[in-house]
Structure 1
């Protein structure tokens, strides 16, 4: 079957990916730090504008099968893409005084990560979601390790990489088990029902566990303090916000959209994750004496607050679509404000300690 591709739906992804190419060319031709960062900033603005333009129109779908699509451009995807683009723009602003990382590679990796975030918002099936999430995450390993002369940077990058690989394998195993029991991967078809089998419960728990890593929820949080502490402060700012935002979007799409028939299984797991994360994150944060490590553990605690509305809804009796909408709205609102305030907090660290990139 010949399948047409809606290139308008893919426009924000094209703009984000094009930004990654342009910053490398700018670095090659001009070799000026200011020019590279300016091109990256303009690319992020263009990506945000493209996402808003596509989102304001009718819903657009591509890569479709008869009953579902793998890529959906709508107002929800436009919000996610715009958030990632503006987040990237903010981090570029924080990077103006960062001198110990190569600007071309730095801006290229930021743009690649932004591309994954933009694609994540339009994911319509589990495989597209996982690939987009990994496209968002993979450049972060290198960004954390860009300060090649410091032991902390290398340790943070290796810790982040190893734990992330395990988490991705767990998520893929969960997706494979879901496909084994249902023969489906698209959110629209998974939401119509899942077999009442023990294997279904195992699949749901595995998917949740893998995605919990992205938001640094306890007990999948061990990578966060080491990675934040080892990275330059602007990269730590991006890591603490972009990874969290990507994880929340993935959980909302996978659990609320795709796995809604399995809410009885997902609810207790999310509630336990939320309580553990809030408690451990806040208690350990009280013992920190370094600013970036304090923000890292605070970020862990915030993941618990983000997951709390969903966990509370899923444990409640008599769940309704209206109550679900309220829980999702609370989660999204808290996440947006968290991203803004976390970026402001790291910006304060940069402003108070100009020229110093370590935490």
Structure 2
């Protein structure tokens, strides 16, 4: 079984973290011959093994045929193109299907979301803020939906900026159909993204879930216009859970289309009154102070620079893999591979709560 098919099949296995899946995939690639028994030996349960083996081959074939086009790509969790911020959320997708300039996913981004039915007030400020954020070298991320999403994408494109659209359908099924032309523009000047197989239809249950990717890609989320039942409040909730900055604009009192804005302000969202309000939040990231390197006597010359960095980050008390990845500014998948090597060398140990240094 080829590597690409292994990733595709593993993406359909439930209740499996991307870091665990990545380790298992590495083992499966080396094994070559894959069956229920080998899958279980690698760590999958019986149900998970069945999900892997029995996922329809026709869907795998269709996905791989779609990926034959140069502009279409599969970004796996272990890829260097996988967005660092997205890898830190509670349930990052194992794979991402993309069309366009997938390298844009590594840029600093801000999400702009809001209702599908928009007022002139909402339209005005979505355009104003999207254009201003582009001037700050920020990419604009949204969901290609009617209303604020589409307005924000178009404003970014009109300002010669970068924009990313995260879909709740497969990329061979652009939704809504009315935005096919906009999607074509984004393919040329941005990137379309989905965690769903290319032929996946736009099912209602998939759109709330895709919102975690929109907020997960971004340093901050801006809610322009939202009623209390707006789906953009789901994105706002994800942003809070992911410990990202959340902004919303002050709006006319008593206007039901902005009742969600007022609710978010009551929950502690930052009020956004001018583009400058958000700039310093984006500029001031979490920068870890350089750690004092271990002495040459304590650091064996057999470790490379990256391994030495990991050893410098670890303590004699448990440190979680998330913390190690964040301090090193690397993906969890990259760090997991290094930690495994160091554990084999016997200089660290996996314990409850993370990893500890042994010497």
Larger helix share, 1 or 2: 1
Q: TM class by shorter-chain length?
A: under 0.3
Relative to the length of structure 1, the TM-score reads 0.26
TM-score normalised according to structure 2 size: 0.26
Query: Higher strand fraction: Structure 1 or Structure 2?
Result: 2
